[in-house]
Amino acid sequence: MVLTSRTLKETKHKKKSGETTKRAISPGQIFLFGEHAVVYGEPALATAIDAFTTVEAEEERNPRIQIQSKGVGSMEGIIVNENGNWSIKDRKGDVEALRFVSKSIELVFDYYSRATGLTLRIDSDIPTGSGLGSSSAVTTATVAAVSSVLGEKLSHKQIAEIAYSSELEVQGAASRTGVNVATFGGFLRVEEDKFKEIKNLPELSVTIGYTGIYGDTGSLVGEVRKLRKTRPEITDTIIETIGEITDIGIDTLRGGNMKKFGVLINANQNLLEALGVSSPEIRGLIKATRNSGAIGAKLTGAGGGGCMIAITPKDSDNIAKVIQENGCEPIKAKIGVGGLRY
């Protein structure tokens, strides 16, 4: 194309109206079974929910990274290449709160051995530290949006791999559950680096209860790791039993025996209690929802606050009410939704 003054003007206009912005959207998630145990190679069952994180990325002329995340904070820094690795230096602002985002940007630049200045705008329905997979949603969407700005189209598998490295580096230890569910959506059985979509499940009614308390995944995973070192004979048995419950739970759900499914959800919760990752607020919500007719209830994600899930009979508005009466936020989520779009 010959660049006339008219086409130049049009290009400029396009940039102004945000047409060069690359957008990626990833869902949050809940664990039906297997959190924590999955970090040690046991299977987990998790599913995507209809709460989303949107990342918009735009190229900048200067080698600066600016990140603005609604409700979380903002940070900026300069891109530097040291010994072949890209990193964001001279960071200012909410550096700690945005560590998953900055690590994901660096890893995409390393993947392509190329970098660019960027402005990132993030908007999320998923509260951080809620146990609903906020870090996996933001890492996968960041990897997708930043690679698009570089003019590249990563496969979903490549996105999940880069996002997993990001979580691993920031968190110290992580399973692939979070990034796989955020990327591929649906119901996934995850075991180490393998995952399988579980299809044709009967309808499941789930109400989420959010305590509003921040649960730090890195330190909760660290606590379980410590317990495994000091009490391996007990801890390993608990972890293996959670893995067995996951597989029995998948078969039970497939067979539609909801009463037994609820018993297994409760058994998983008891084992998470034994690992020390529950909290008084979670315990309170579990007791209240079970007393109000929930078939089963357990924490979801890392614990230490965050969220619990109640498996309920259909049309059970009283469960949401009881969560509210306990000073917490009920979230009626649709489950099994699709994964990353970009």
Footprint of ligand MEV on this chain (CB under 6 A)?
35-36, 38-39, 174-175, 177-178, 217, 221, 301-302
- Helices and strands, number each (H, E), in the chain: 10, 12
- Supply the minimum distance, in Å, between the C-beta of residue 211 and ligand MEV: 15
Nearer to ligand MEV, 220 or 320 (CB): 220
Residue keyed to tokens 């067979």:
255
Cβ closer to ligand MEV: 302 or 322? 302
Side chain identity at 178, as an amino acid letter?
G
Taking every pair of Cα atoms in the chain, the longest distance, rounded to a whole number of angstroms, is 75
Closest approach of Cβ 309 to ligand MEV, in Å? 13
Kindly tell me the sign of the dihedral angle through the C-alpha atoms of 292, 277, 175, 70: positive
CB of 107: closest distance to ligand MEV in angstroms? 17
d(CA 15, CA 60): 11
Cβ nearer to ligand MEV, comparing 56 with 161: 161
What are the structure tokens assigned to 309, written together? 């899930």
What is the nearest approach in angstroms of ligand MEV to the Cβ of residue 105?
Answer: 21
- The answer to whether 307 and 209 are in contact (CB under 8 A) is yes
The CB-of-169 to ligand MEV minimum distance in angstroms stands at 13
Q: Cβ closer to ligand MEV: 46 or 288?
A: 46
Question: In 3D, which of 98, 217, 100 has the Cα closest to residue 164?
Answer: 100
Q: Which is nearer to ligand MEV, 57 or 297 (CB)?
A: 297
- Under a CB-based contact definition with an 8 Å cutoff, are residues 201 and 32 in contact? no
- In the complex with ligand MEV, the residue whose CB is nearer, 47 or 217, is 217
| Least distance to ligand MEV, CB of residue 267, Å | 17
Q: Specify the residue for token string 């940070």.
A: 75
Closest chain position to ligand MEV (CB) = 175
Q: How many CA atoms lie within 13 A of 300 on its CB side?
A: 31
Which residue has tokens 């079974």?
33
Of the pair 148, 180, the CB lying nearest ligand MEV is at 180
Quick one: DSSP state of residue 131? S
Rounded to a whole number of angstroms, the minimum distance from the CB of residue 35 to ligand MEV is 4
Q: What is the rounded CA–CA span in Å between residue 314 and residue 309?
A: 15
Q: How far is the CB of 166 from ligand MEV (least distance, A)?
A: 12
What distances in angstroms separate CA 183 from CA 52, 156, 163, 171, 197, one per listed residue? 12, 6, 9, 19, 12
SS3 content of the chain, % helix, strand, coil (to 5): 45, 30, 30
Rounded distance between C-alpha atoms, residue 227 and residue 73, angstroms: 34
